[in-house]
Amino acid sequence: MPSLRQGSLLHPVLAHTRPNGASSCPFPSSSSACLPSEPIGIGGFSTKVHAVTTTGGKPLHLALTPGQQHESTMAKELLVHAEGNAFISDTGYDADRIRSNARRLGMKPVIHPHPSRKQRPPLGPPLCRMRYRVECFFHDLKRFRAVATRYDKTATCYLAALHVASMLLWLR
């Protein structure tokens, strides 16, 4: 597959999550829709969108998880879809195993350290500034009304709406 990267010479991969309030079941379900009679989890009804983007803020991979699930559980899937020289991500992905997996794939982990981390690894300012691009991607994604308010009842339909919005962002 040809590279679709833009911008920097380093071509880092950006990975972040954004919580999104939802009025329906957030669990990915391939066979059945969530029914109103199903119990609500401790975290309530919400969804997190995980994304791998280019340096220009264009999406390459999207995934959903329930709102109460921690971000670091999706790191392995995001690293599979990641390409480039750096893995730039949010504080939720700050774990030693994620950093070592990124290094094993030949990427420099640029992950903002969690406040509870005793020894904070140094961050490269030029790469750390690129986290802004993924924030801009989520802002552009939320400009689509169906994505921002999550009208869809199932996670599958919501992910499809995210993909349509992502295609439109690529066409801009």
Q: What pLDDT score was predicted for residue 67?
A: 84
Mean of pLDDT values over 98-126: 84
Q: What pLDDT score was predicted for residue 15?
A: 52
Mean of pLDDT values over 35-44: 38
Tell me the pLDDT tens digit for each residue of 52-66. Answer: 988 888 999 999 988
Tell me the β-bridge partners of 110.
88
Percent of the chain with pLDDT over 70: 73
Decide if pLDDT at 39 tops 80.
no
Q: What pLDDT score was predicted for residue 112?
A: 81
Q: Give all domains of the chain, ordered by start, each with its CATH number.
A: 13-29+41-171 (3.30.420.10)
Q: What pLDDT score was predicted for residue 165?
A: 94
* HEC sequence for the chain: CCCCCCCCCCCCEEEEEEEEECCCCCCCCCCCCCCCCCCCCCCCCEEEEEEEECCCCCEEEEEEEECCCCHHHHHHHHHHHCCCCEEEECHHHCCHHHHHHHHHCCCEEEECCCCCCCCCCCCCHHHHHCHHHHHHHHHHHHCCHHHHHCCCCCHHHHHHHHHHHHHHHHHC
pTM of the model: 0.70
